[in-house]
Structure 1
Amino acid sequence: MDKNRVEGAVRQVKGSVKEAAGKITGNRELEAEGKVEKAAGQAQSTVGKAKDGLRKAFK
């Protein structure tokens, strides 16, 4: 499994936590920060999946 997939998953979880905390506390800035981090984590995971796919294709 590619390192990007793992790090992306961690970023998604952190983003979800920040987003939820922002919603609960009414802190729109924290909520927005969480959404951005979550999206970045999804992108990073996608890159990792692509790398894994390429590795499998060229084995």
Structure 2
Amino acid sequence: MNTWKDSFLYTENEILPVWVAHGNIRWSEEENGEKKEEVYYNGIIGRVNAVTGEML
């Protein structure tokens, strides 16, 4: 099963979310200058740091 970090595609300048197992990703507004995203995972809404892929 994919981990959160496995769900991100690493590029030179940024990390792009490409897939979350059994869930969907939707970008959210920037908060305090830090881009975050909302993750719908098995019906649970979670927050993921767009850079590290860690749950918030």
Larger RCO of the pair (alpha carbons < 8 Å, separation 6+): 1
User: TM-score, length-normalised on structure 2?
Assistant: 0.23
User: TM-score, length-normalised on structure 1?
Assistant: 0.23
Structure (1 or 2) with the greater strand fraction: 2
Q: Rg bigger for which structure?
A: 1
